[in-house]
């Protein structure tokens, strides 16, 4: 199939399916150029048609990183402050401060742009 700019959901799904089939090919394989082209076409379509940069919940990002690194709440005390602050932040009862964001970014290797997204606090 000769690929062209993806403009419809149907073409997008078709490109995703084809990429899944040939994704593991190595440089030099007969389908390598096709896979590389599909990645670019899919990326362009997603940028133009998906909601602009899906903004994940910063607290969920932190929890994901904690799980990924086998961290517990107590491991964040030096980054966030006291045990109670850690608990309040992770339970969305307290907002992240700029200092917390900087420390979380540095220590957990989370891009700051993911930590500054808005999120709803849970009322007491």
pLDDT > 60? residue 53? no
**Predicted local distance difference test score (pLDDT) of residue 80:** 96
Alpha-helical regions (H) of 1-124: 9-22, 32-49, 58-68, 77-80, 83-90, 98-108, 112-115
pLDDT > 80? residue 13? yes
- Distance between CA atoms of 94 and 103, rounded to whole angstroms? 16
Contact 110, 65 (CB under 8 A): yes
Taking the CB of residue 29, how many other CB atoms lie within 10 A of it? Answer: 12
Torsion angle of the four alpha carbons 68, 74, 78, 80, in this order, in degrees rounded to the nearest 10: 80
Mean pLDDT value of segment 32-45: 91
pLDDT in tens, 94-116: 999 999 999 999 999 998 988 99
């Amino acid at each position: 199939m000769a690929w062209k700019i993806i403009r419809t959901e149907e073409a997008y799904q078709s490109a995703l399916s084809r990429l899944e089939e040939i994704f593991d090919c190595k440089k030099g394989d007969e389908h390598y150029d096709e896979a590389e082209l599909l990645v670019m076409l899919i990326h362009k379509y997603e940028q133009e048609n998906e909601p602009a940069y899906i903004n994940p919940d910063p607290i969920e990002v932190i929890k994901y990183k904690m799980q990924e690194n086998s961290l517990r709440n107590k491991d964040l005390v030096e980054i966030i402050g006291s045990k109670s602050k850690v608990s309040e932040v992770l339970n969305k009862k307290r907002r992240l401060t700029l200092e917390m964001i900087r420390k979380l970014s540095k220590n957990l290797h989370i891009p700051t742009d993911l930590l500054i997204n808005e999120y709803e606090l849970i009322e007491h």
